[in-house]
């Protein structure tokens, strides 16, 4: 009984800040806003009155809006324009996650290596930039990669210093100012940079915790380093990998700021379109419908990961037995 009382604040919190907003999104998602329908009637003296649905009349033009349950936003959501955007968001998120994994796993492995001195310091250096606001970090990439940015400045001075290089590049059609930003690759770069540490941390933690005697036992039994990695380290680190994948994939599929800044509005993702609905276009209903779509995709993805995790855990038990 006492324990139950302790959970009350949490339950309240979750109800107010999780359940209620979710229900609101659901409600907005399945409704549309419309002006109350009316018919205009021009009277004999030329004045105009308006007849409302219930048969009543008014001289003021009706403006009041009301919400009506309708699935029309779902129909709109399934138009090719929006599906194409969703697919692109998924594609970019998958690529980002893969790159983060390919970069992050070796980093985590090196950091946990026995010969590696002062892993805590290096880990700190990896995490430190993440304490800064991610907008600031993304803006710094803009200053580096812009047409008028640092990198183009360096290239320009290099080309000025070595005319032969300049001619060589010009002959190959490389423009004096190279446009690095405002394309899909720039968006992926921005995401990898921002999310990489979310991949490294969980993998590092799991490998770090793995019992080293398992590796020693494997070595005693004649396993070479490759075998030890494939048979011991890799399976044991899988939960960390799955967590890292979730932590990168979910924000990557929903982001809108990185695509706006790095993509210059030319690589809109589903998150950008949702943001437009709540901002400029102020159509909260359609925005909510799109949010529901993204939520379903993310849930499906996490469900799939969960299954892999469970199957793997079961296999691991078998292996130990």
Partner 1 sequence: MKKLSLFALTLALLCAALPAGAQETISVYNWGDYIEPQVLELFEQETGIEVIYETFETNEDMYAKIAMGGASYDVIIPSDYMIERMIQEGLLQEINWDNVPNVKNIDPRFMNAAYDPQSAYSVPYTWGTMGILYNESTVVETPTSWQTLMDPAYTMDMLMLNSPRDTLGIALVMCGHDLNSTDPADLEDAKNLLVEQKPMVLAYVVDEVKDKMIAGEASVALVWSGDATYCMGENDELNYVVPVEGSNIFYDSICIPYNARNVSGAEKFIDFLCRADIAAMNYEYVGYAIPNTAAIELLGAEEYNASPVNNPPQEVLDKCEVFKYLGDDTRIYDQIWTEIISEF
User: Which residues form the interface with partner 1 (CB under 8 A)?
Assistant: 34-35, 61, 63, 76, 81-82, 84-85, 88, 146-148, 179, 181-182, 260-261, 263-268, 273, 276-277, 279-283, 286
Residue 128: both structure tokens together: 């430190």
* 3-state secondary structure at position 144: helix
DSSP bridge partners of 69? 31
Q: State the minimum distance, in angstroms, from the CB of residue 279 to partner 1.
A: 7
Residue 42: how many CB atoms within 10 A of its CB?
9
Alpha helix ranges (H) inside 221-283: 225-228, 234-254, 257-263, 270-278
CA distance 91 to 97: 10
Q: State the minimum distance, in angstroms, from the CB of residue 267 to partner 1.
A: 8
CA distance 304 to 299: 9
Nearer to partner 1, 251 or 268 (CB): 268
Q: State the minimum distance, in angstroms, from the CB of residue 25 to partner 1.
A: 17
* 3-state secondary structure at position 61: coil
Nearer to partner 1, 247 or 267 (CB): 267
Nearer to partner 1, 36 or 109 (CB): 36
Residue 299: both structure tokens together: 């849930």
Alpha helix ranges (H) inside 19-79: 20-29, 72-77
Q: State the minimum distance, in angstroms, from the CB of residue 258 to partner 1.
A: 13
Nearer to partner 1, 169 or 223 (CB): 169
Q: State the minimum distance, in angstroms, from the CB of residue 250 to partner 1.
A: 22
Q: State the minimum distance, in angstroms, from the CB of residue 295 to partner 1.
A: 20
Q: State the minimum distance, in angstroms, from the CB of residue 255 to partner 1.
A: 16
CA distance 296 to 255: 16
* Cα dihedral 66/70/76/82 (nearest 10): 90
Nearer to partner 1, 140 or 205 (CB): 140
Nearer to partner 1, 89 or 194 (CB): 89
Nearer to partner 1, 60 or 317 (CB): 60
Following DSSP, what letter does each residue of 160-226 receive, concatenated? HH-HHHHHHHHHTT--SS---SSSHHHHHHHHHHHHHHHHHHHHHHHHHHS-HHHHHHHHHTT--HH
Nearer to partner 1, 35 or 157 (CB): 35
Nearer to partner 1, 77 or 206 (CB): 77
DSSP bridge partners of 35? 65
DSSP3 helix / strand / coil % (the chain, rounded to 5): 70, 5, 20
Contact 272, 84 (CB under 8 A): no
Q: State the minimum distance, in angstroms, from the CB of residue 175 to partner 1.
A: 9
Torsion sign across C-alpha atoms 121, 126, 127, 128: positive
């Amino acid at each position: 009984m006492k324990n139950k009382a302790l959970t009350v604040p949490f339950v309240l919190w979750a109800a107010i800040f999780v359940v209620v907003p979710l229900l609101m999104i659901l409600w907005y998602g399945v409704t549309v806003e419309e002006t109350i329908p009316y018919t205009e009637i021009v009277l004999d003296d030329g004045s105009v009155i308006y007849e409302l649905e219930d048969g009543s009349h008014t001289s003021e033009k009706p403006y009041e809006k009301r919400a009506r349950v309708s699935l029309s936003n779902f129909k709109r959501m399934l138009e090719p324009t929006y599906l194409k955007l969703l697919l692109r968001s998924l594609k970019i998120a998958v690529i980002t996650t893969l790159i983060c994994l390919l970069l992050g796993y070796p980093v985590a492995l090196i950091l946990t290596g026995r010969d590696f001195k002062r892993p805590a310091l290096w880990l700190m250096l990896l995490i430190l930039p993440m304490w800064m606001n991610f907008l600031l970090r993304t803006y710094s990439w803009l200053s580096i990669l812009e047409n008028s940015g640092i990198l183009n400045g360096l290239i320009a001075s290099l080309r000025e210093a070595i005319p032969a290089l300049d001619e060589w590049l010009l002959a190959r059609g490389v423009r004096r100012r190279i446009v690095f930003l405002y394309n899909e690759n720039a968006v992926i770069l921005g995401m990898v940079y921002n999310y990489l540490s979310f991949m490294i941390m969980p993998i590092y933690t799991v490998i770090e915790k793995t019992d080293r005697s398992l590796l020693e036992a494997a070595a005693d039994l004649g396993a070479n380093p490759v075998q030890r990695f494939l048979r011991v380290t890799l399976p044991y680190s899988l939960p960390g990998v799955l967590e890292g994948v979730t932590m990168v994939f979910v924000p990557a599929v929903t982001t809108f700021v990185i695509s706006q800044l790095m993509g210059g509005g030319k690589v809109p993702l589903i998150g950008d379109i949702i943001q437009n609905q709540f901002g400029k276009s102020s159509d909260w209903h359609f925005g909510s419908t799109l949010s529901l779509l993204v939520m379903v995709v993310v849930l499906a993805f996490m469900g799939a990961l969960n299954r892999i995790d469970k199957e793997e855990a079961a296999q691991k038990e078998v292996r130990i037995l």
